[in-house]
Structure 1
Amino acid sequence: MQFEHGISAIDTGFNRPRFDASHLIIEAGRAAFIDVGTNYSIPALLAALEDKGIARSAVELVIVTHVHLDHAGGAGEILTHLPNAKLAVHPRGAPHMINPARLVASASSVYGAEQVAQTYGELVPVPPERIIEVRDETVLELAGRALRCLDTPGHARHHFCVWDARSRSVFSGDTFGVSYREFDTAKGAFILPTTTPVQFDPIAMKGSIARLLLLDPQAIYLTHYSRVQDVKRLAADLFEVINAMVAIAEASRESAHRHEALKDELERLYLDRAQQHGCTMSREDMAALLATDVELNAQGLEIWLEHGRR
């Protein structure tokens, strides 16, 4: 999917079509990837370079907004194909890229070791000399094009977003939620926050979204899934749903079957809002598309209730 200003979206093939995007920026014959999916995504990314006539040696940056495996699992593998690229990653995430053992263990605690191995493959460590640690306001340059990195916790403490002044766009990873193209209607995109385990912080998440709004972006490029516009409306929706999700979590705190109660209430919230947005799919079909998010968001809210609630 090609956009203006040398930006394109590549479907990484993770989970289902139009679920997980890597974004490629090309400037004056040089290139950068923002988020790369899993090891199994790498052929699609390399094919995109070939289709655009970009040599692998012309890729200067692989930027991962955070080190969750659907964003960064393939980082080590793709670097073996890109001889001149450096990996840009948050300082909290850098050790996990150098030694992925704890990252794999964390994912295995959520999904199970067998599922992690099947879904992500064997993570390739990144040599320390190929890492750029990205702090708040770090500016990465791609052929003179400034990519400004902003620390944006809330989804994860090791998360940053990328502001591209050339296109007046933000590459938001998971900070600005998820928006699947199947839910688009005449009203535009439909959006939901993501509280995936294990570091959800609603106060920080709302602060990070507010920080992005101060940039007055014309578009936001989500990993799940690609470009959305009408940013102010979507941000208002995110604030509203974050508050609703926190209220659901608080109300289920003492439930004897808390996880199932959370899932039921989250699904109801999401499907009701999707129908209000004009989605005409059956509730069963919408529930199937959102099942992974419902499960992971419920897990994240439970962890917040137990360990991170303020």
Structure 2
Amino acid sequence: MINTTEPTPDRLAEAWRRVSDTSPADEADPLVLDCARRLAADPGGERAHVWVAGLVAMSGYLAWRPGREAERTALDALRAAVQELGDRPCPHDDHPYEADMRALEDEIWQGDTGLLTGELAAGDGDVDAERILCPRNVAGWARLAVDVIAPFTVRRVPVGAPEGHRSAISTFSGIVNDYPYGDPAEDLIDEAGSLPARPTRGVLAGYLVTMNATCWYAASERITDRSVPDAMIKGVEAAVALLGDDDPCAHAPGEHPSTDDPDHTSRVGYLLRSPGGRAEISEDYGWDSEDEEDHEDEPLDAWVCPAFLHELAAETLVALD
């Protein structure tokens, strides 16, 4: 294992790049814990940007099936960084982390934060080190990482679903409102086969919500090709196998979302799949972006609740059978 006692940016990046959703916990957790503990020790310090960069780089692992201690420690450290850095005064109208929100899906670990070196790999001359290393930009990346690992548990993520997701929302809105723009059978089969092998919680939830929103159409007389519902059944069953059910449902009776409106539900299905999309859901439900105190808000994390998703999947499979 790489020794990070006296880390340099290159050595850190090399170590963190090895951590992915396929990494075994006994190899990944020590690196995550080392990074998170360094951040937690001084979340507002001059090296905070380095440790936030590391946790963003390893968020693909943390968003899949990390060790419980690694996940908890990373989330606590990232939230502490948000708390310490997020409201510091700065002269900037915007920050680099916001620039690509309309292209940013949940795979933030594939993006270019620039936080290790103060430079973006793309070489954008308009973005200088001062803006990249601005405390509010560091806090922004920390927020994104928290939201990917534990959706709907952090506020003030910029609103803006990726353009590709916007296009999918339009496609499925047409289908569920009975005026498809293209070939609905082809669109539904493509969607049924779109689930990644190791999805984030938001992507997995979004997939199952989309399948539920469109299942009535696939099971109707509008679709005469049996391969469409069969593909959807196969996809839903594969998704259910990925749902964790170790933790009991934390929601009170009636707190799981309603999916009675297929148009709304199909829209949510794609908004769930990105930080900016989830921020749009939060905005729809009236979360105050400037107020992070506890309130009696809609429990938006119910959209990614495994118990809710198990129920939704069962309902979908019955409709498609």
- Using structure 1 for the length normalisation, give the TM-score: 0.27
- Using structure 2 for the length normalisation, give the TM-score: 0.26
Q: Which has the higher contact order (CA 8 A, sep 6+)?
A: 2
Larger radius of gyration: 2
| Structure ranking higher in helix proportion | 2
| Structure ranking higher in strand proportion | 1
